[in-house]
Amino acid sequence: MNKGLKFLIVLALQLTMITSASAQSAGGSTNGFVIGLIVLGVLLLVWAIIAITDNLLQIEAGKAGIDTEKNNMGLFPSVKSVFSKNTPAFAQNDHFVRLNKGYNLRLEGEAEKVDEGNAHVTRFAVSPYDFRGISPIPKVVVEVGDEVKAGDVLFFDKKNPDVKYTAPVSGEIVDITRGAKRSISNVVVLADKEQQYAQFDVPSLDASREELVDFLQASGAWSLLNQRPFDIIPSATAIPRNIFISTFDTAPLAPSTHILLDGNEEAFAKGVEVLSKLTSGKVHLGLDGKSTPSAALSGINNAEIHYFSGPHPAGNVGIQIHHIDPIKLCDDVVWTVDFQDAIILGRLFKDGVYNTSKVVAVTGAELNEPKYVKTYTGANIGELVKDNLANDHIRLISGDVYSGDKKSEDDFLGFRDNQITVVEEGDNYEMFGWLLPISPRPSISNTFPNFLYPNFKFRADTNTHGEKRAFVVTGQYEKVLPMDIYPQALMKSILTQDMERMEGLGIAELSEEDIAICEFVCTSKTPMQQILRDGLDMMREQL
Amino acid sequence: MGLLDVFKKIEPDKKKSPVLHTFYDAVFTFAFSPDEVTTGKGVHVRDGMDLKRTMIHVVLPLGILVLLGAYNIGHQHFLAQGAYGGVLEGFGLKFLYGFIKLLPLIIVANVVGLGIEIITAARKGHAVEEGFIVSGALIPLIMPPDLPLWILAVSVAFAVIIGKEAFGGTGMNIWNIALLSRVFVFFAYPTTIAGDNVWVAGYEKLAPGESTDYGFFINKIVNPVLDLFGSAKFEAATIIDGFSGATPLSIAAKEGWDAVLMQYSEAQMFWGLIPGSNGEMFKPLIILGAIFLIITGIASWRIMLSMIIGAAVTAMLLNAWGASPMMDVPWFFQFYMGSFLFAMAFMATDPVTASSTNTGKWIYGIIIGSVGMIIRAINPAYPEGWMLSILFANTFAATIDHYVVQANITKRLKRA
């Protein structure tokens, strides 16, 4: 394939020799500029001939039925193969995407070991707030004092009564808390020491899609699924074009895949198999392309493997969808499933019980000992961090520092969250903090010496480091968002409520966690996630 | 935190005196970064970069240009008298004279500009945005040294009120504020900013043979003080015969590159010891400033590079055409004269008025480079084009963005 390139180089060299020879023979009076123009013209002509040949070859190849995007049929090596680093050996046969844009925020307080045995969390809750698209006051079918098994129905949405939301653990209902306007905020279960599971009659995987959907809705596993765009509980009628699972998380302090996967390999494979029956397309798995993946992931059946290598947000499923098979417009339907939720789904089909056991990373610089904890969905946050806080002036976040939710000790882990992050509240004044910062702080800007210490771990606090301003700096979002999207134009179209433009600029492809990195770097401190959600809500009402 | 308590104590009432409070707030947030924390509805941790820090990193390289600009004002002034010809001779006097000329310009530009910013911010009820930090540093550097202060005040007021606040404040303006104030002077008071006499300080109003009048301040205050220390002082003198304050550009426009080299050496032009606007000529430092802005990521290298490409290619084409003395100047030497580099590093890269998309930035830069070079070569009245070409490109920046973004939309709609 390099022949064409070599030919071109030799030709260019010959041309320069000829022209320099002719320049010498003509003596000093020749205008160098004119010769330059002639050389340029000749080169352009040669280039045009080669380009046409190259195009003709590609067209012929296309006619012969060869996929010209995957197989290079032109004269030249593709730009990618010349400039990009080689694809690692383990990913040779799969789709490999190298992402250069993004930023890895390194924070102190990474969890390393799993805390064995000492699962002292007693209270668990399911919150209707965690399910977007259901009404704020669902029908609660249990009362305080009732005993439930894991998998028993707790509540359902009155508009969509088939979809049940079930108990993550067995035990006694101790509280049903209410939030603003009498909405239900939490249904709290005091867990039994020995878990009791409701036994389900699992349909065989050869059953019709309707049967599977009915089973999922009745068992509570439907709530594990997420429909994009908008991040809502999937509608039973819209068949997803594809289902995407990201098997790794690149967010700051996120739990690592091998710990989540440990001992759950079979369940995950089963979960993927179940999902493959629910879509009209494929299940796409996004794997970390930085290191050799576990054989349980790379050798999985019923799914297509894609490798992603790059800084955060390479592990976000939204970014991966964009590079695999983008969500087209707002009426396009795909599903995404969280990695651990796919394991829970697999367990349901493997063992016939709704076992929400999961590993949660308790992380952050303000903890005595960051660690992994084996617990269940919706664990109480206060109990998770009990006796572990090094500081009392802190913020508890369910999720990561980019897109997690601010919680108090009485609150519970978000339904889909696998992580708690504890950071210091930064409500202090800092003298000339904008000019001469005293403590190191994360930034993508090279005005800080951060770029000299790429492996430094920060102890970040929640200070905004500046006040909100109008959009001034440009190009900073594009630097960290590896998508073909113009975030600033999109934000402006949302602020001006221009729906057509929003859709055209790709609002359907985004979710808060994808745009969060842009919000982090924003010099003008724009609340981008909030603006994006406003836009998504606007679009959802339209549909 | 003693100072913090003092600040807290003197906080004026927001309702009773909004302007005072806005001013207080601006000073306070300058001294202390606020204790604001993330709301909990979006990201919890924010990047350490904010608009103040962004703006101040543009002002840093400009600060050095202020020092050198002051020196050069004095240097050119004494050259006209035929005194202190060497670079280091009369160093102190040159600096002193330059500062006496430059400092009032800096003070007036900032007092007028920031005053208007504070009053409008108070009226709108939000904090003072930092845009004018850079404008206030740029404006004195792009004006001639002898510009009357009232004209400066009027031009700054025009630029800030009509150019910025009318559009909604920092981040909303269409045209570069600093250039808008200069273009106002350019069209409203052309005699103060065009011609051969305005670029050397102190000689604008002199009749032939008349000696310099240093005025009250230097004669009655500065000179006695200098006397006290026994150092050399300012002495009235006439302009030496045959001195011309013409800039290399105006010579090149009339007589071509060879005539320029008769008066100024290439090194002189490169190091910036030539008449011109106050801070535009020190090529090495401007290049260093540009590299600083690129490394820190404050300014867009795309705009700078595409501007150089646009200007160089246009200059080559003009060389090939060669219809006027300016067109015959070898393309490379076009960069030695005038304010191309200053405009490239500090003016065109203003993120608010430039194109916001990366593709747009390439187009935007090429337009500036090429239009500016054409104006330089063809405009009969004024041999410099960057101010007008940047304002021209500012006007079309949003249109360029529109087409770039629209291409993205069309692509997405086609895919569906």
Verify that A258 and A322 share a domain, yes or no.
Answer: yes
Average of per-residue pLDDT across A408-420: 91
> Residue A27 pLDDT > 70, yes or no?
no
List the single best residue of A108, A327, A462, A488 to mutate versus B (max B Cβ within 10 A): A462
Q: Which of A462, A504, A527 sits opposite B413 (nearest CB)?
A: A504
Q: Give the angle subtended at the CA of A199 by the CAs of A193 and A203, to the nearest 5°.
A: 145
Q: By the CB < 8 Å criterion, does B49 face chain A?
A: yes
Of A162-176, A276-290, B204-218, give the lowest mean pLDDT range.
B204-218
Q: Give the angle subtended at the CA of B198 by the CAs of B192 and B201, to the nearest 5°.
A: 120
Q: By the CB < 8 Å criterion, does B36 face chain A?
A: yes
List the single best residue of B39, B46, B399, B401 to mutate versus A (max A Cβ within 10 A): B46
Q: By the CB < 8 Å criterion, does A330 face chain B?
A: no
User: Is beta strand A419-424 parallel, antiparallel or unpaired with respect to A357-363?
Assistant: parallel
Verify that A455 and A469 share a domain, yes or no.
Answer: no
Verify that A186 and A232 share a domain, yes or no.
Answer: yes
- Which residue type sits at B119? I
Interfacial B residues in 271-310 facing A (CB < 8 Å): 295-298, 300
Q: By the CB < 8 Å criterion, does A34 face chain B?
A: yes
pTM of the predicted structure, to 2 decimals: 0.87
Verify that A10 and A93 share a domain, yes or no.
Answer: no
Verify that A380 and A424 share a domain, yes or no.
Answer: yes
Please state, in angstroms and rounded to a whole number, the distance separating the CA atoms of residues B309 and A264: 58
What is the DSSP-derived secondary structure letter of residue A194? S
> Residue A72 pLDDT > 70, yes or no?
no
The answer to whether the CB of B353 falls within 8 A of the CB of B360 is: no
- What is the rounded average pLDDT for all residues in chain A? 87
Cβ distance of B50 and A406 shorter than 8 Å: no
Q: By the CB < 8 Å criterion, does B124 face chain A?
A: no
Domains of chain A: total: 3
Q: By the CB < 8 Å criterion, does B5 face chain A?
A: no
User: Reading across the β-sheet that carries A139-140, which strands appear in turn?
Assistant: A139-140, A153-157, A160-166
Q: By the CB < 8 Å criterion, does A96 face chain B?
A: no
Q: Where are the alpha helices (DSSP H) in B325-357?
A: 340-342
Tell me the pLDDT tens digit for each residue of B236-294. 888 887 777 788 888 888 888 888 888 888 888 888 888 888 888 889 999 999 999 99
Q: Which residues on neighbouring strands pair with residue A430, listed in sequence order?
A: B33
Please state, in angstroms and rounded to a whole number, the distance separating the CA atoms of residues A230 and A240: 14
Look up tokens 């924390």; give the residue. B37
Decide which of A55, A83, A111 is a domain's last residue: A83
Token pair for A122? 């007693």
Q: What are phi and psi of A530, to 5 degrees?
A: -65, -40
Verify that A412 and A498 share a domain, yes or no.
Answer: no
Q: Which of A426, A467, A527 sits opposite B37 (nearest CB)?
A: A426
| Greater pLDDT, A89 or B37 | B37
CA A224 to chain centre: 16
Decide which of A462, A490, A509 is a domain's last residue: A462
Q: Other C-beta atoms within 10 Å of B153: how many? A: 17
pLDDT reported for residue B59: 92
Question: Which H or E run contains A173?
Answer: strand A171-178
Average of per-residue pLDDT across B184-203: 85
The answer to whether the CB of B143 falls within 8 A of the CB of B182 is: yes
Interfacial B residues in 145-204 facing A (CB < 8 Å): 168-172
Verify that A57 and A202 share a domain, yes or no.
Answer: no
Complex ipTM value: 0.89
Tell me the pLDDT tens digit for each residue of B74-100. 998 888 888 887 888 888 888 899 999
Tell me the pLDDT tens digit for each residue of A452-507. 888 889 988 899 888 888 899 998 999 999 999 999 999 999 999 999 999 999 99
Region of B84 please: left (phi>0), alpha (psi -120 to 50) or beta: left
How far CA A114 is from CA of A62, A228, A369, A378, A383, in Å, comes to 53, 33, 11, 18, 16
Min Cα–Cα distance to chain B from A300, Å:
30
Please state, in angstroms and rounded to a whole number, the distance separating the CA atoms of residues A261 and A238: 30
Q: By the CB < 8 Å criterion, does A420 face chain B?
A: no
Verify that A55 and A65 share a domain, yes or no.
Answer: yes
Q: How long, in residues, is chain B? A: 416
Q: Other C-beta atoms within 10 Å of A67: how many? A: 9
Task: With H, G, I as helix, E, B as strand and everything else as coil, classify residue A366.
Answer: coil
Q: How long, in residues, is chain A? A: 543
Token pair for A539? 């679009």
Q: Which residues on neighbouring strands pair with residue B87, listed in sequence order?
A: none
pLDDT reported for residue A102: 92
List the single best residue of A427, A438, A474 to mutate versus B (max B Cβ within 10 A): A474
Tell me the pLDDT tens digit for each residue of A352-374. 999 999 999 999 999 998 999 99
Please state, in angstroms and rounded to a whole number, the distance separating the CA atoms of residues A170 and B166: 64
The answer to whether the CB of B92 falls within 8 A of the CB of B231 is: yes
Cβ distance of A460 and B45 shorter than 8 Å: yes
pLDDT reported for residue B181: 95
Verify that A403 and A511 share a domain, yes or no.
Answer: no
Q: Which domain holds residue A204?
A: 87-462
Verify that A99 and A128 share a domain, yes or no.
Answer: yes
Q: By the CB < 8 Å criterion, does A498 face chain B?
A: no
As a whole number of angstroms, the longest Cα–Cα distance in chain B is 83
Please state, in angstroms and rounded to a whole number, the distance separating the CA atoms of residues A450 and A446: 7
Q: Where are the alpha helices (DSSP H) in B215-282?
A: 215-216, 223-228, 248-255, 257-263, 266-271
Cβ distance of B35 and A427 shorter than 8 Å: yes
The answer to whether the CB of B205 falls within 8 A of the CB of B413 is: no
Q: How far apart are the first and last CA of chain B?
A: 59
Contacts of B169 in chain A (CB under 8 A): 470
User: Is beta strand A405-407 parallel, antiparallel or unpaired with respect to A394-398?
Assistant: antiparallel
Please state, in angstroms and rounded to a whole number, the distance separating the CA atoms of residues A110 and A25: 71
Average of per-residue pLDDT across A242-268: 92
| Greater pLDDT, B229 or A72 | B229
Q: By the CB < 8 Å criterion, does A39 face chain B?
A: no
Interfacial B residues in 304-323 facing A (CB < 8 Å): 316, 319-320
Tell me the pLDDT tens digit for each residue of A166-203. 999 999 999 999 988 888 999 999 998 888 899 988 88
Question: Which H or E run contains A473?
Answer: none
Tell me the pLDDT tens digit for each residue of A132-153. 888 888 999 999 999 999 999 9
Name the band, by pLDDT with cuts 50, 70 and 90, for residue B393.
very high
Q: Give the angle subtended at the CA of B42 by the CAs of A449 and A286, to the nearest 5°.
A: 80
Verify that A344 and A442 share a domain, yes or no.
Answer: yes
pLDDT reported for residue A255: 93
Min Cα–Cα distance to chain A from B37, Å:
4
Decide which of A21, A56, A83 is a domain's last residue: A83
Token pair for A388? 């572990």
Cβ distance of B320 and A397 shorter than 8 Å: no
Interfacial B residues in 57-86 facing A (CB < 8 Å): 57
Cβ distance of B34 and A429 shorter than 8 Å: yes
> Residue A525 pLDDT > 60, yes or no?
yes
Q: Which of A105, A462, A467 sits opposite B34 (nearest CB)?
A: A467
Token pair for B331? 């393309």
Q: By the CB < 8 Å criterion, does B6 face chain A?
A: no
Q: Other C-beta atoms within 10 Å of B140: how many? A: 28
Residues 6+ apart with CB under 8 A from B32: A429, A430, A431, A432, A433, B4, B7
Cβ distance of B52 and A466 shorter than 8 Å: yes
Whose CA is closest to A298, among A258, A259, A327?
A: A258
Verify that A19 and A135 share a domain, yes or no.
Answer: no
Q: Give the angle subtended at the CA of A274 by the CAs of A270 and A279, to the nearest 5°.
A: 145
Q: Which of B48, B51, B409 sits opposite A448 (nearest CB)?
A: B48
| Greater pLDDT, A101 or B233 | A101
